[in-house]
């Protein structure tokens, strides 16, 4: 029996779209990338605050692998079982810079108390 993705649409913070697509956050750019790259937009839950990083929850491993392939190389992706029962699969994604590095989506600049800057413009400084 297939996993019913509508369980994710029960929160007032989740937006419902056609074909069993649910989103939490401002994620239309990610949906557009998936659509343009030929990934069928159905039966998925897209979680994130913005389009720089998040997770896509899908009912099968093969759909998760296909979603990850559609996001590459613009995003670094990881496919893994999602949830305690492992009934669903998740694709964690983080936007890559044009040079291929993965930027920090939340911390853009970080300087330690001793004055060393360890993150600048979302990149780790060595």
pLDDT mean across residues, the chain:
85
Q: Residues 41, 55: one domain?
A: yes
Q: What angle do CA 4, 23, 80 make, to 5 degrees?
A: 65
Model confidence at 124, pLDDT cuts 50, 70, 90, reads confident
pLDDT score of 46: 92
Judgement on whether residues 68 and 125 belong to the same structural domain of the protein? no
34 and 76 together in one domain: yes
Q: How far apart are CA 117 and CA 121, in angstroms?
A: 11
Q: Tokens 């694709």 identify what position?
A: 91
Q: Which tokens go with 6?
A: 């509508």
**Model pLDDT, residue 36:** 93
pTM of the model: 0.77
Say how many domains are in the chain. 2
Q: Tell whether 125 and 63 lie within a shared domain.
A: no
d(C-alpha 37, C-alpha 23), whole Å: 19
């Amino acid at each position: 029996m297939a996993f019913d993705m509508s369980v994710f649409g029960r929160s007032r913070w989740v937006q419902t779209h056609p074909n069993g697509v649910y989103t939490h956050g401002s994620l239309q750019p990610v949906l557009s990338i998936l659509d343009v790259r030929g990934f069928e937009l159905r039966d998925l839950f897209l979680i994130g605050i913005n389009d720089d990083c998040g997770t896509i929850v899908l009912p099968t491993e093969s759909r998760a692998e296909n979603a990850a392939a559609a996001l590459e190389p613009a995003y670094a992706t990881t496919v893994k079982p999602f949830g305690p029962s492992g009934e669903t699969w998740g694709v964690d994604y983080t936007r890559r810079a044009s040079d291929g590095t993965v930027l920090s989506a939340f911390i853009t600049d970080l300087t330690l108390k001793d004055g060393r800057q360890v993150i600048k413009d979302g990149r780790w400084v060595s």
